[in-house]
Structure 1
Amino acid sequence: MAMTLWAGNALAHDGEINISGKIVDKTCTVSADSTQILVSLGSVASKQFARPGDGTRYEPFSLHLEKCGSTASHVSVTFTGTPDSHDPALLTLTQEAGSATGMGIALYDSNKNQIRMMQTEAGTDLVPHEATVTLNFYARYLANGDVVSAGEANAATTFVLNYA
């Protein structure tokens, strides 16, 4: 019995990958005290939310930036997270057993203009070579139009810094 081995042609193709990018000097570093922020909205009576749009007091919080590049001229913030199903401008509450319903968390800029979830706020002009920058915001509970029930009312959002 004779056996013949035949090797077929191996095909090879050459390709090229082009990688591009840019090193810029118009960003800032988020200060260590702003990488994990806790905003306490406290305990609030559910009867305070009689109709859609009823809210609690504004609780301030700040993002601290440092080491801004010499060409940094403007920074704005986009808050990302899960929008509320009844009012997508609000951040939805964490869905766990025993969680409150009928409200979300509204975020505001330093002038108390509401910042819709997933949309960029107007931002702040930066002073060249400024050592630190503080961006001030507010948070509060806001009734979303659904039936309000008592329970834990927690949420989480992340922020994205946008530079011009």
Structure 2
Amino acid sequence: MDFKWIVVPLFIFAMPITFANNASIKIEGRVLPAPCTVNGDTVKKTISFNQTEARSLSEAGTGGEWNKFSLELDDCPAYLNYAIATFSGTPDEDDPNMYKNNGDASNVALQLADDTTTYGDGSSMTISIDPVTHKGIFMLSARMYTPKGNVGKGTFNSVVGVNFTYQ
């Protein structure tokens, strides 16, 4: 009789205990058309500056000639109202609202702006998408700028990334 009392409890603890419940998950969504198409010229945009004499950038806070350009979005779906461009790049050491010059000219940076705002690393610009043409156009300007003055001769180049999002 002692043998049964020992064996029975071992079998009870060794049996797996399982419970089952039924559940259903409802998943819903929408398939939307693709967002705007980034215009081919915008994808590989290159802005070329005229030669600038170092002496014209000898004082802090001065800049070269503004170079106007646009970034364009085409074929935007009718449901989109706004496009947002977020800019990224290496900030200049002397002015974080400017972009670093990767060339060998010293004390000079890239300034990126529209008519009212300078766009540094991490800043965003919002535009309305034209409901008739289904295009979005970011009107911008860029120039060489010196936060410190006393620009040294050499080459100038800078890279700014742009990420587009939509609303």
TM-score by length of 2: 0.75
2:58 is the alignment partner of 1:55:
no
- 1:54 Cα offset (Å): 0.3
The 2-side partners of 1:45 and 1:152 are apart by 12
The 2-side partners of 1:102 and 1:23 are apart by 50
Aligned residue identity for 2:147: N
Aligned pairs, number? 139
Larger Rg: 2
The 2-side partners of 1:146 and 1:49 are apart by 6
Where does the alignment leave 5 or more consecutive residues of structure 1 unmatched? 1-20
Change (3 A) 1:24 1:93: farther
- 1:125 Cα offset (Å): 1.2
2:47 is aligned to 39
Higher helix fraction: Structure 1 or Structure 2?
2
Moved over 3 A (4+): 21-26
Identity %: 22
Aligned residue identity for 2:166: Y
Write the mapping of 1:9-158 to structure 2, written as runs, cut at 5 A: 23-25=31-33, 27-95=35-103, 99-109=104-114, 111-121=115-125, 123-128=126-131, 130-145=133-148, 147-158=150-161
1:161 is aligned to 164
The answer on whether the counterparts of 2:98 and 2:109 sit within 8 Å (CA) in structure 1 is yes
TM-score by length of 1: 0.76
Comparing 126-135 with 137-146, greater Cα deviation is found at 126-135
RMSD: 2.0
Aligned residue identity for 1:55: G
Secondary structure of 2:99's partner? coil
Where does the alignment leave 5 or more consecutive residues of structure 2 unmatched? 1-28
